[in-house]
Amino acid sequence: MHDIRMIRETPEVFDAAMKARNADVSSADVLAIDTARRAKIQAAEEAKAAQNAASKEVGAAKAKGDEAEFERLRALVGEKKAEVARLGEEAQAEDVRLNNLLMSLPNIPFDDVPPGADEDDNVEIHRWGTPRRFPFVPKEHYELPGVQAGMNFELGAKLSGARFVVLQSSVARLHRALAQFMLDTHIANGLTETWTPVLVREDMMYGTGQLPKFGEDSYKTTDGQWLIPTSEVTLTNIVNGETLEAGQLPMRLTAHSQCFRSEAGSAGRDTAGMLRQHQFEKVEMVSITHPDESRAELDRMTGFAQAILEELLLPYRTVVLCVGDMGFGARRTHDIEVWLPGQQTYREISSVSVCGDFQARRMNARFKPEGGGKPEFVHTLNGSGLAVGRCLIAVLENGQQADGSVELPVALHPYLGGNTVLDPLGTLI
């Protein structure tokens, strides 16, 4: 959420940011509500002062026996009391209007975010590994003989509908091994493993920015709870309403969780295979930092995600998202895209974002500065480390052999009982 004082003091900065992000709002729209709200508050305070003054004079008039003055003042007190209540309700209504508007507006990008309208304007900043040259036409993951026995889309559809899958046997074990490898790596890097619920209260979704604007992208239960689209929601909201000590920062957390997305508006996109599912798993990273450290933390978290891919020997590239392609709550985002031979292209496998104090304001999450003084808002960051299903796709496609088997990365061998290959029959050997 935005700082209203910033909009008052630098409306041109706000306007430029909203224009770049195609938000149909101006500082004038916001400040008109803010001005009306402040005017109502001031009027209510003045009416309250008049009420208090009249109340003091009522007793004096009564003591003097001036019944006419006493009745006039008593009536005035009643009028002012009603006026205070009315103005207070009107001020509250304007406050709700302002809060609802600010809650619906995207974050302000950093100055170093590339301009642009969509993914074609993203800027590559790093590339690692060389895509393998196959002596045969590489298949997509769901076409591999050793995978088909353990990746059942028909059964997923029978149980739950389109865009669900059932993983079994060796494929399920490989999927689990990837998640365990990611967690162990992040823990070694100093992140604290955390297990959280997948059902959250509605205010938690507001806290991280999934609501109010993107409710159609998630699943809501009949009792008003929401299934998390990512454990960013739960990990970040751990500090919701908290005032931390400066020494508690940075907080670096990781969690492996089920995630749920309705994929509203994505009909016809990536419907084949596991690339885009309603239910999937992710290992998430979240950092809660001092404002002075959040930009450096973005690079640190990006490095953690990249290192996972390097350990798995998966070629990738990292891009900075342009303003038009960046997510609602981000100030800068690094997308990491892994090479998929079956599609002959790079596809997103991680998105790492710094949000500044945008989420902290929504959650009222603060810290006490070491030198004393007024509590300040923390900065928050989140990133995939990594999307487990997409990583499974990349491992299968990059390791495929001419006979239909899959050579598995060395980093996973200890998690697979020493097995190194998924054979054409779907057996780990």
Q: What is the pLDDT of residues 260-292, one digit of tens each?
A: 999 755 555 566 799 999 999 999 999 999 999
174 exposed, middle or buried (CB, 10 Å; 0-12, 13-18, 19+)? buried
CB 260 within 8 A of CB 279: yes
The answer to whether 263 is a known ligand-binding residue is yes
Encode pLDDT of 337-360 as tens digits: 999 999 999 999 999 999 999 999
The residue from 103, 127, 153 where one domain ends is 103
Q: How far apart are CA 386 and CA 316, in angstroms?
A: 13
| Global pTM value | 0.93
Q: Is position 348 annotated as part of the catalytic site?
A: yes
Same-domain check for residues 84 and 141? no
Q: Does residue 209 form part of some domain?
A: yes
Same-domain check for residues 34 and 148? no
Same-domain check for residues 304 and 368? yes
Domain with 328, as residue range(s), is 119-422
Q: Is position 163 annotated as part of the catalytic site?
A: no
The residue from 103, 128, 156 where one domain ends is 103
Catalytic residue among 27, 390, 397, 405: 390
State how many domains the chain has: 2
How much is the mean pLDDT over the chain?
94
Same-domain check for residues 291 and 399? yes
Q: Does residue 112 form part of some domain?
A: no
Measured from the Cβ of residue 338, the count of other Cβ atoms closer than 10 Å reads 25
307 exposed, middle or buried (CB, 10 Å; 0-12, 13-18, 19+)? middle
Q: Does residue 93 form part of some domain?
A: yes
Encode pLDDT of 184-217 as tens digits: 999 999 999 999 999 999 999 999 999 998 899 9
Per-residue confidence (pLDDT) for residue 309, from 0 to 100: 98
Q: Is position 261 annotated as part of the catalytic site?
A: yes
Same-domain check for residues 229 and 360? yes
Per-residue confidence (pLDDT) for residue 266, from 0 to 100: 56
Q: How far apart are CA 168 and CA 215, in angstroms?
A: 32
Catalytic residue among 86, 201, 276, 295: 276
Per-residue confidence (pLDDT) for residue 268, from 0 to 100: 56
Q: Does residue 110 form part of some domain?
A: no
Closest CA to 147 of 168, 182, 169, 171: 171
From residue 130, alpha-carbon distances to 32, 46, 255, 398 in Å are: 55, 71, 30, 11
Q: Does residue 427 form part of some domain?
A: no
Q: Does residue 71 form part of some domain?
A: yes
The residue from 73, 103, 133 where one domain ends is 103
* CATH code for the domain of 228: 3.30.930.10
CB 270 within 8 A of CB 347: no
CB 255 within 8 A of CB 249: no
Q: Is position 38 annotated as part of the catalytic site?
A: no
From residue 307, alpha-carbon distances to 138, 268, 301, 329, 351 in Å are: 25, 33, 10, 25, 14
Catalytic residue among 293, 311, 348, 407: 348
Q: Is position 160 annotated as part of the catalytic site?
A: no
Catalytic residue among 163, 173, 261, 300: 261
Which has more pLDDT, 40 or 67?
Answer: 40
Q: Does residue 238 form part of some domain?
A: yes
Same-domain check for residues 319 and 405? yes
* CATH code for the domain of 45: 1.10.287.40
